[in-house]
Amino acid sequence: MLNVVQYLRKQKRPQDSDEVPETAWNNNFWLDINYLEVAGAAQYCGANFSTVLFAEIWWDIKQTSGYDTSFSNTSSTSSPSQDSP
């Protein structure tokens, strides 16, 4: 499976005139797959470099799609107010 994903990432895709110029990095984003799961599969296989690569692609997709990257604690539980006696 990892070889298939690697192969497809490297393939040229048809480019529309209004798209962002084609680069090796931009070729990562035409596949509709969960790169975090692919990174997990790569880790399971001991493919450490591929693990980092696919995790980085996943992270870039999340950042560009508006994913909250603040790492703030947004838990619904709250501590008691400091104003109470």
Place of tokens 């990432």: 9
Which residues have a Cβ under 8 Å from the Cβ of 27 and sit 6 or more positions away? Answer: 9, 10, 11, 12, 13
Give me the phi and psi of 77, to 5 degrees please: -80, 140
58: left (phi over 0), alpha (psi -120 to 50) or beta: alpha
User: Are 35 and 54 a contacting pair, CB within 8 Å?
Assistant: yes
Q: DSSP secondary-structure letter at 13?
A: -
- pTM score above 0.75: no
Most confident listed range (8-12, 22-26, 42-46, 79-83): 42-46
pLDDT in tens, 8-30: 888 877 666 566 667 777 777 77
Distance separating alpha carbons of residues 1 and 8, to the nearest angstrom: 11
